[in-house]
A and B are shown apart, each in its own frame.
Chain A
């Protein structure tokens, strides 16, 4: 249709058709948006903002400036690379800050924060609160160093100055087992001390193992279900859906009952005589326990996408291949299998995404060798109270998951996600 012709057409109320149509379309768009708006706002407030808040926590570092304002200011003029101690003014500011901090009982807080960066800072500040209040007059420098010789070390001041800005990369560096030296260089921990990298790698490896296990176990049964007549197929799919619908904790509990030293599987093995009474296998509270239990828990997430793809592959393909002279195995491998690849991709990414962020099952059956990065995050939130590090570890995990989520979106499309 040409523009001039469309302009010429006029609706009943005398407006050009184009204007009228645009208005109607806009109204429809606004109506659709208005329907989505309540949920969007709800998810934004209850979910997106908390996550954003957590991500901010991983770089936030207001505490040093908040508790030691005068010191931070005085340190601005000090050259931390000079290798010399700060001058008297800085010490005076520190003593003044410590006096205030002691009154408000915040000196331990700042010590705790700086202790993440250099051990010994916590006890230094805990003691300093009381000792500094006894220093009434100059020279502050000499007296403060007398209370604790750490005050006479350049590195103490370097750490304070380094972590006085309001934003810090320190938590992220710690999350990948690196730290910034007082000189400003980034130094990685020795490999045996690099617990977080190790844990991330272990989480990835175990997730891959679990994904492969679910594929290995899920492919045959998805194939069987897809090729059975509808009646038997529906019955068999219920056997997959039942564990899917059963509480995660129920399934974890069952595996504890099955795998523990005095558990059902060990009992059977002893009874049959494969292992002796003293040789009971340790299948739980280690990586084996995590892998077995999580394979069972995530298996339905592999079978269901596989099944829905396999159901769409016409059985005539295989018949055509065999009638053209292919042996059953090449017919399967060259004709049927390539058709199931989208299902494998969807199932594998889904299982991998779910596995990499698992917390409950590794916590209960993983012991020390079978824990995931999630357990470390929970540990930092609940026990060590290093929330910044927990947030940074969480951000790294989230980034990994998002990459795979985008991949999933490319392959399957989130619109095509099906449930049950």
Chain B
């Protein structure tokens, strides 16, 4: 389907363009919902709909008051603070433990590799409602329910599979001769680790950490159960906002979050290019 060859028959031509139209429609389906909330978030009236003033591009139909509300409302500001604090500590915990484990799992001498891997990955597979229920029961029993520590531990557990997977993937293409070369040149194991291994796995660790961060930042089911109002995160606040009183502030927050995810995507793409360059793999 590269380009239409000059000898293509009429049905082939028709299909060629029809296929592109179908694909365009699917891409539209993917992207349109993300775009439609942007103008709606500047609505002057508290509804999720386009008003006639908005459609006429009348400035009176637009307003930034929902953004003002987001930046001044204490509920939302508390949620922003909680989101970042919880995601930050959860990421540190899962990134450090996950990287260590990935280093161990990638060693050829690792016993019971598949079994251990499937246990470590299980937080990603088990449906969130089950994880949330289990953690809710158990954390209430040990007094962690409704504490920041409880939510951080829960989110760290949910984030570790992503770190393990991305760092192991980085290590798959790892050339062990580099370590042998460093050793034969007289570097101590510690020096080899910090000057040879660390620079090579850093992109994997960072992208794993980004996954872990976004997992915690976006997560809502577990925080609904393990957390309480004191631990409300942005998704928590959005969830209760949608259920209780719909206000376009949610749309303003959604627009800002979409911007954040665009930045994240950009950062990951840069990391991916760096890994490929470092490992000398050409973009195929």
Chain A contact residues, CB within 8 Å of chain B:
25, 28-29, 31-36, 38-40, 42-44, 46-54, 57, 217-218, 220-221, 223-224, 227-230, 236, 238-243, 245-258, 260, 262-264, 267, 296, 299-300, 311, 315, 328, 353, 356-360, 364, 374, 377-378, 381, 387, 390-391, 394, 397-398, 401-402, 405, 409, 414-415, 417-420
Contact = CB atoms under 8 A, between A and B. Distances in A.
Interface string B1-39: 110000000001001000110110011011101101100
Contact of A42 (B12, B134, B160, B264): B160
B66 interface: no
Nearest to A387: B137
A290 to B, nearest CB: 15
Contacts of A28: 107, 109
Contact of B131 (A47, A387, A405): A47
- Of B1, B119, B225, the most chain A CB neighbours within 10 A belong to B1
B138 interface: yes
B44 interface: no
A356 B120 contact: no
Contacts of A328: 12, 15
Interface in B232-284: 234-235, 238-239, 242-243, 246, 250-251, 254, 257-258, 261-262, 264-265, 268-269, 283-284
Interface string B180-220: 00000000000000000000000000010001001001101
Which of B12, B48, B207, B211 has the most A CB atoms < 10 Å from its CB?
A: B48
Interface string B153-169: 11011001010111011
A261 B120 CA distance: 44
Contacts of B246: 256
Contacts of B109: 25, 28-29, 31-32
Top 10 closest A-B pairs, CB basis? Answer: A357-B127, A35-B104, A50-B138, A39-B101, A254-B33, A50-B134, A28-B109, A54-B134, A36-B104, A374-B129
B80 interface: no
A246 B125 contact: no
B85 interface: no
B126 interface: yes
B110 A36 contact: yes
A249 B235 contact: yes
Given A32-B107, A42-B156, A246-B257, A390 B218 contact: no
B122 A253 contact: no
Contacts of B131: 47, 50-51
Q: Secondary structure of the A side of the interface? A: helix
B123 interface: yes
B130 A32 contact: no
Given A247-B254, A253-B238, A221 B26 contact: yes
Contacts of A57: 137
B229 interface: no
Contacts of B250: 253
Contact of A247 (B101, B135, B154, B261): B261
B37 to A, nearest CB: 5
A47 B268 CA distance: 28
A361 B125 CA distance: 18
Interface string B52-67: 0000000000000000
Nearest to B272: A420
B252 to A, nearest CB: 11
Interface residues of B, number: 98
Given A220-B26, A245-B261, A51 B130 contact: yes
B40 interface: yes
B116 interface: yes
A47 B122 contact: yes
Contacts of B178: none
A38 B20 CA distance: 51
Contacts of B254: 247, 249-250, 253-254
B7 to A, nearest CB: 11
By secondary structure, the B interface counts as: helix
B238 A33 contact: no
Contacts of B179: none
A227 B251 CA distance: 36
A202 B129 CA distance: 17
Given A246-B257, A374-B127, A43 B157 contact: yes
A377 to B, nearest CB: 5
A360 B103 CA distance: 35
A76 B261 CA distance: 63
Contacts of A353: 125
Contacts of A417: 121, 165
Contact of B251 (A221, A257, A418): A257
B92 interface: no
A220 B137 contact: no
Nearest to B123: A47
B23 A220 contact: yes
Nearest to B107: A32
B164 A39 contact: yes
16 contacts: A32-B110, A36-B104, A38-B97, A43-B120, A46-B154, A47-B135, A48-B122, A52-B134, A54-B137, A230-B284, A242-B34, A247-B258, A262-B48, A360-B239, A401-B125, A420-B268
A257 B22 contact: no
A33 B104 CA distance: 6
B68 interface: no
A360 B221 contact: yes
A246 B258 contact: yes
Contact of B1 (A227, A264, A390): A227
Given A53-B137, A257-B40, 19 more contacts: A32-B104, A32-B109, A35-B103, A40-B101, A42-B93, A218-B26, A221-B23, A228-B2, A230-B283, A242-B265, A246-B34, A248-B235, A249-B239, A249-B242, A249-B254, A254-B34, A356-B127, A357-B128, A402-B125
A255 B130 contact: no
B49 A419 contact: no
Contact of B98 (A39, A241, A405): A39
B89 interface: no
A398 B107 contact: no
B203 to A, nearest CB: 13
Contacts of A47: 122-123, 131, 134-135, 157
A227 to B, nearest CB: 4
